[in-house]
C-alpha cells in the first residue's frame, strides 16, 4: 500500500511530489518531531490532496500541522486534547484497533 521509500525527519529537502502518501508512526517520537520540517511536509501533502495516515501518537503531528480541523479523529486517549483543540471531531475508540477514515486523505488508528 505504501511506497517502498522511507524518509527521515533529519532530511531537510524532501519533495512531496516524489511521494504518493505519508505514514506517521506513533510511540514517543511525535512530541519531538511535531515541528518543521516534518510539519511543513505534512501540510504540503495535505494541500496536494495526498493521503496521510497515522498510528497512535502520530496524530499529534497531524494536529500540530493544522490538517485535522472538521475531520473525524481518534487516537490513543492521552493524545485527545491536541486534535480537539485543533478543531477535530473526536471519535471515542471502542478498542485500541479502532480506525477512522476521512475519505482518502486522513486515516487514523
Which residues make beta-bridge pairs with 73? 90
Alpha helices in the chain (DSSP H): 30-33, 38-47, 59-65, 81-85
DSSP conformational letter for 52 = E
Residues 6 or more apart whose CB falls under 8 angstroms from that of 10 comprise none
Instruction: Identify the segments of the chain with pLDDT beneath 70.
Output: 1-13, 29-31, 96, 104, 106-109
Read off the pLDDT of residues 21-45 as tens digits, 9 standing for 90 and up: 888 887 776 667 777 788 888 899 8
SS3 102: strand
Looking at the whole model, is its pTM more than 0.85?
no
Q: Which three cell numbers stand for residue 47?
A: 494541500
The total number of residues shown for the chain amounts to 109
Query: Cα separation of 15 and 102, whole Å?
Result: 24
pLDDT score of 8: 59
Confidence (pLDDT) at 85: 92
Q: How far apart are CA 2 and CA 19, in angstroms?
A: 9
pLDDT at 26: 76
CA 81 from chain center: how many Å? 15
Amino acid at each position: 500500500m505504501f511506497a517502498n521509500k522511507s524518509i527521515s525527519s533529519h532530511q531537510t529537502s524532501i519533495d512531496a511530489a516524489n511521494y504518493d502518501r505519508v505514514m506517521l508512526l506513533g510511540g514517543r517520537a511525535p512530541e519531538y518531531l511535531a515541528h518543521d520540517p516534518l510539519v511543513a511536509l505534512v501540510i504540503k501533502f495535505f494541500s496536494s490532496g495526498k493521503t496521510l495516515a497515522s498510528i497512535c501518537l502520530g496524530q499529534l503531528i497531524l494536529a500540530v500541522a493544522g490538517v485535522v480541523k472538521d475531520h473525524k479523529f481518534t487516537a490513543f486517549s492521552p493524545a485527545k486534547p491536541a486534535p480537539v483543540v485543533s478543531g477535530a471531531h473526536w471519535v471515542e475508540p471502542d478498542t485500541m484497533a479502532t480506525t477512522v477514515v476521512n475519505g482518502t486523505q486522513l486515516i487514523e488508528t
